[in-house]
Amino acid sequence: MAAPMPTYSAVVAHASAFLGELIADPLLRRHLLSAAAAADGGGGQHTAATLQALSLISDVLDTAPSASPSPSSLHAAERLLLSLPAATPLSCLLSALASAARRRCGAPSAASAVLDLFVLDPALARHELAPAAFEALFAPRLLPVMRHFATRRASAAAAVASAAQFHEDSRSDETAALSAMRVLSLMSGAQAQEMRGLEREYEMVLDVNCKAYALYLKKILETGEAARLSPPPPPPELVFTVGHGDMSAGDEEASTDADEGAVSCVRDNPMWAEAEGDLYPRQGSIKGRRELMRPPSLYPQRVSPHLIVQQQRQSPQVGRSGRWSPAPRLREEHSPATPSDDSTEDSSIELYTGKQEKHPASPLSKPRRAQPRDDDGAGWARSSPEPSSSPMDGYADLARQQQQQAESTPKDFVCPITSQVFDDPVTLETGQTYERRAIQEWLDRGNATCPITRQHLHVGSLPKTNYVLKRLIAGWLEQNPLATPAPPITPATPATPAVARTPSARMEAPPLPFKINSPSPDNTGSQASAPSPTSVIVQASVESAIGELRAAVSCLCTSEELAESEKSVLRIERLWREAGAAEHAFFSALAKPAVINGFVEILFNSVSAQVLQVAVFLLAELASRDDGVVQTLTRVDTDMDCLVALSKKGLVEAVVLIYLLTPSVDQLVEMDMAEALVAAIRRVDEADTLNMCVKPKAASVILLSQILSEAGVGRDTTLPVPRSALVSERFVRSTALVLDAEQVEVRVAAMRILLRCIAEDGHCRSSIVEKLALGPVLDAFHVVGDADKFDIVRFLSEILKLKKRSAAERVLQAIKEGGSFSMMHTLLVYLQSTTPEQSPVVAGLLLQLDLLVEPRKISMYREEAMDSLVECLKNSDFPRSQLLAAETIMNLPGKFSSSGRPLARSTLLKLARVKERYRPPQSQELSVVRGADGGGEDDAAGEDKAAWEWERKTAYAVVSHEFGLALEALSECLESKNAELFAASLVCAVRLVHMLSLLPDTGVLGAARVCLLRQLVLVLRSAKHGGDRALAMVALRSFMNDREGMQDIATYIKDVLRTLRELKKSSGLAFEMLKLLSDGQESSIDMWNHKELNQADCSSNGEVTSIVYFKNYIFSGHSDGTLKVWEGSENILRLVQESQEHTKAITSLSILPSEEKLYSGSMDRTIRVWQFRDGLRCAEVHDTRDPVQNLAVATAMACFVPQGAGVKALSWNGSGSPKVVNPGKSVRSMALLHGKLFCGCNDGSIQEIDLASGTLAVIQAGNKRILGKSNPVYCLQLHDGLLYTGSAPLDGASVKIWNSTNYNLVGSIPSPAEVRSLVVSADLVYLGSRNGAVEIWSREKLIKIGALQAGSPGCRVQCMAVDADGDVLVVGTSDGRIQVWFLL
């Protein structure tokens, strides 16, 4: 298949990724600069301009993580490099780094400089300077050339293998077991010379193609983005060979190298040569870390060509349902040494594929003596005519003897490095055992990891000798005197042709693909190796075991007794476990269809749990090694049905066999497997006595993940498993524990299940975090595909949505430090290759990790994350990406409910101080940011502080990026017609503007006004949703904190004032903004408007003597004794009910809200108690024996004014006659609060009476009559600790305001009217006069705002009432009218 055509963006992206790694890794950068300098001829031969540019760029890059890169230094370095007469590898590398450091505009220049490296010196660029760029840009194009030469190498190796088979007296399978190193050792001098020439030609062909293709890519860069509109030019033709003139230099080198002998030819062959050491000096194993972080290389260190040939020849093992089948992977682990009939391949290819893994050809495993060389340098090329004297044949015999010894040596006695019996074994902290001298050399070469597990070694020195293993080896050596321990390891010298080298290429390779329950990496010997030390001591006769197995199989297949068949199954299982060297023979006997059917019959008929478990175990072992067994089991549908039935009955081992049979997801759903899988996962882990090839819980997790993933893709159907079972705490915690599994596939499957659980019920996040082991999840990120990587990022982002900020920061810290590699750098590299829909999520996680510490002036991670978010916000071609970017910024403050729902919007709405009756209905979890999680006030204060610090850091990081560039992008999103994008962008913009008013002024607030003011005014004026208007109001209030903001808002003053007047009744913030825009004058006509809703004429019932307002109902009392109930909603005043149980005028009405009772006092000498829950109904009648002039009620008693002097107190329980208090005064008005009675008297005095003690306090002394006129206190009202009294304005103030606690006069209202009634709301004071006018005064400023006219001219305002919010005013007049006004 042809390689994809390169594009401008792809070239820039790959080059940027390579240079980004150099900038982030100073040690790697210094090494490459040193290598480039050495390639140019040494540091002493460089020009002064080059050295000065090197110094400038190194200083800039070394200080980049902590300070902003200096543009002047970078430009100066570039000018110096441009002044050079000719380009060199060092100058090209410096130019690339300088351009990449400028980030925003230097990517194309940096990519062009990288390509110049391949034009100047392709070999140096491939092998040392830019191997990652070669893999990404050149290897896909040059793959046909690599395969061409791999085929030629394989042909040469096949000829050697055939010759060895002809000369050796051995079986055919022994030839197949030859390792790659042995093939090289069997080469003659001419064959080795031919192989070296082939390698030289390969290098020259690659050089020619690299240079031509690099020039072609530079043309694409020069064309730029315009190339998208037209197809790119065709790439240059590939060159597969070079002319004889080009090989002349190579011939001279070949003639010189031939003098070194065949041994040197084999040893120095670049195809299989082991690295003498790391490519650059360093501490630890930095190369190993870098290799593990990038995918396997096509040509990183001249790997064996069989890898390329194998990729071309191998086809993926796919199950019947189209998915990857697990059976072939397991069969690779357990396959016998003898190949089956259907797996035979060309012998030349076998040598380079499977057999090389089984017989590693490390030089340490085959120590050789240095062969003497003749003077002419022929070496081994001059072999003696006699076969016995041929050094090549002698070496072949030695190799054959060592192979036979390896087949009889217990694998636990062999060092995985030297492939020899241990002499001084040491066991590292990772659990792996090595020869002391071999592992010491490994550590001396600068490595700091275990060669097999790749885990970092924390111990500086090697542990003590493993004496237990050494004693076992000593006992075995007594029985095998020909075996010898590993020889001493000596460093390589020029005089020793057979150099012992550490197989670093094999050890530092990337980890193998995932295998379930794969054997330990140190098991590199043949499958025909001898048993472990335990079985060495206790060995059974193979022939006897096979005979016993045949008898058990015969009984299983022929016996008609179920008990005998069950015993045969148990016997077969015992023999299988004790098989040892006879395992292959056992497998051949058990894999036959007749035996498989016998096991299936046991599954159908047996009721013994042990027998069923053993039968399933044996079938799983066989199915994992042979596709024929899988075909036999899947040939009949009832076999699968039987396994499903067993799994549903609790036989969890059956799930493993179902997994190996790879049923389709539709089959699993049809068989209703989901609930059985959930039950298997929820089971408590028990001891795995069967030691199955796949853990039952692991198989259950993988199958359930497939079912849930398939059910969630484009299907509007219900879950295949009950939601309650999926989100149960026990299931969630059990699944979270599986994240620590050894197999990456199981971890990824468990993670996907948890993602589905979070989607169904976000409350399970806390359970997941409690049991979460982040290390394995983070390590899996480096070995999975792109789709799985994004799922891991989504999972990490979801578990951060916690209610407590401190818990979220602990999870962030674990993500940052939990993996084996730097997660921040990994995410940074991954961010460069994500799709637009994935970038916001990855960038959000990267930004949060960077913000764990106090934001610095510059951070590479933060800048890249913010660049990605802003780019997504501005990319209108991808609306989904825009929405995700806006939601990511909205969620950055980290305020979430217990279910993980964001609280950013509800938190901002609280700043608008919307009154309760106008708030939209919200769930309880959204209305409370901090729930009842327990903990004291200190914990709550700590959480609040942590939340504020995090919100401050996130806001600063967003608004400080490129001087508010994110605000400009959000302004563009506010113009979108996408409702979701608009809502998310509005919340983001409002939060950032609000935080700008709290953060230190950096000038960004002014930029925010330029970007957002017009859009916010438009939202305030025309948004349909009241919440959106309230949010816009919060942002505009933040702009009003300085003079410039007020001036900018003044441009839109009419629209703003009109909207604020509408919102003033529902929002306290609107009222505050109105005052600011009115220069603090509450009397402004723009602030207070009253609209008359309706009026009712009740003149037929006489005067309106009393009115109360309660829960949208108006109760009115009339002078003819009628009590009426009105419905007082907006624009309606509708009579609901009326009663005429009083025979005379109703003088006063009072309500106890706590009891929902209405009390009416009348001149008919009664007080009636009314219930109005199910209509108005008189519940009680109390005889007062005196006409009731005024009434005040409490829970236990009532006070009323009789016709004479004093006040009478009446108990509701009816005990005793009414008690007279304050008998010396004629009381006109009164109010009762907390057992204290306030009285306004006809002589103008105001008194307070403690009803419990009977004591009396004077608030205002009475005055004598002036000219025969009295000045009574007509009305009084208590509100917010103040006592308001109304009378005639004889002393210049008709209303006086007293402190009800200390009786001090705190204010007065200088109204000229005689106040007959008054009512107080939260903001206003309404005064009713005797001429029908209602004056409106500001309660705070005590200034007049306006006036209303009630009733007909000349009538009196008898009574007034307001609703609880102060929005509705009800007035009753002496001409029998009821009027209702609404406050706008």
What is the predicted pLDDT for the residue at 988? 94
The separation between CA 1222 and the C-alpha centre of its own chain, rounded to angstroms, equals 74
Partners of residue 1282 on adjacent β-strands: 1279, 1299
Distances from the Cα of 700 to the Cαs of 319, 682, 780, in angstroms? 18, 10, 20
Spatial separation of the C-alpha atoms in residues 921 and 424, rounded to whole Å: 76
What is the predicted pLDDT for the residue at 225? 55
Tally Cβ neighbours within 10 Å of residue 1222: 20
Question: For 2-11, 1021-1030, 1142-1151, which range has the lowest pLDDT when averaged over its residues?
Answer: 2-11
- Give phi and psi for 699, each to the nearest 5: -65, -40
What is the predicted pLDDT for the residue at 275? 34
Is the pLDDT confidence value at 1052 over 60? yes
Range with top average pLDDT, 339-353, 728-742, 878-892, 1359-1373 = 878-892
- Give phi and psi for 1342, each to the nearest 5: 55, 45
Question: For 306-320, 514-528, 775-789, 913-927, which range has the lowest pLDDT when averaged over its residues?
Answer: 514-528
Is the pLDDT confidence value at 1332 over 90? no
User: Which contiguous run of DSSP H or E holds residue 1327?
Assistant: strand 1324-1329
Instruction: Collect all residues with Cβ–Cβ distance below 8 Å to 612 and sequence separation of at least 6.
Output: 602, 603, 606, 646, 651, 653
Q: For 133-191, how does the pLDDT look when each residue is reduced to its tens digit (9 = 90+)? A: 898 888 888 888 888 888 888 887 777 666 555 444 444 444 443 445 456 556 667 77
Residues 389-402: what's their mean pLDDT? 45
What is the predicted pLDDT for the residue at 354? 36
Of 13, 132, 24, which Cα lies nearest the Cα of 863?
24
Partners of residue 1134 on adjacent β-strands: 1127
Q: For 24-59, how does the pLDDT look when each residue is reduced to its tens digit (9 = 90+)? A: 888 888 888 888 888 765 444 677 778 888 888 888
Question: For 227-241, 615-629, 1194-1208, 1241-1255, which range has the lowest pLDDT when averaged over its residues?
Answer: 227-241
The amino acid at 1382: F
Contact 1311, 1344 (CB under 8 A): yes
Tokens 């802003």 locate to 870
DSSP state of 439: H
Q: For 757-811, how does the pLDDT look when each residue is reduced to its tens digit (9 = 90+)? A: 998 888 888 888 887 888 888 888 888 888 889 999 999 999 999 988 889 989 9
Contact 665, 706 (CB under 8 A): yes
Is the pLDDT confidence value at 255 over 80? no
What is the predicted pLDDT for the residue at 715? 43
Of 1312, 1282, 1287, which Cα lies nearest the Cα of 1297?
1282
Distances from the Cα of 882 to the Cαs of 76, 174, 806, in angstroms? 39, 63, 30
Q: What percent of the chain has pLDDT over 70?
A: 74
Tokens 């360093």 locate to 282
Of 710, 772, 778, which Cα lies nearest the Cα of 744?
778
Spatial separation of the C-alpha atoms in residues 482 and 517, rounded to whole Å: 35
What is the predicted pLDDT for the residue at 1326? 92
Spatial separation of the C-alpha atoms in residues 205 and 888, rounded to whole Å: 50
pLDDT-derived band at 245 (thresholds 50, 70, 90) equals very low
- Give phi and psi for 1229, each to the nearest 5: -145, 155
Contact 75, 93 (CB under 8 A): no
Tokens 């929005």 locate to 1367
Question: For 101-115, 192-206, 1164-1178, which range has the lowest pLDDT when averaged over its residues?
Answer: 101-115
Spatial separation of the C-alpha atoms in residues 359 and 354, rounded to whole Å: 9
Helices (H) and strands (E) in the chain, counts: 56, 30
Q: For 408-424, how does the pLDDT look when each residue is reduced to its tens digit (9 = 90+)? A: 678 788 888 887 888 89
The amino acid at 1151: I
Spatial separation of the C-alpha atoms in residues 720 and 794, rounded to whole Å: 23
CA atoms within 13 A on the CB side of 619: 34
Spatial separation of the C-alpha atoms in residues 1129 and 1112, rounded to whole Å: 6
Spatial separation of the C-alpha atoms in residues 1225 and 1261, rounded to whole Å: 12
What is the predicted pLDDT for the residue at 345? 36
1076 token code pair: 């600011």
Residues 970-993: what's their mean pLDDT? 92
Average pLDDT of the chain is 76
Convert 673-710 to b/e letters by CB count within 10 Å (16 or more is b): bbebbbbbbbeeeeeeebebbbbbbbbbbbbbbbbbbb
What is the predicted pLDDT for the residue at 243? 62
What is the predicted pLDDT for the residue at 1129? 60
pLDDT-derived band at 110 (thresholds 50, 70, 90) equals confident
Residues 1315-1328: what's their mean pLDDT? 89
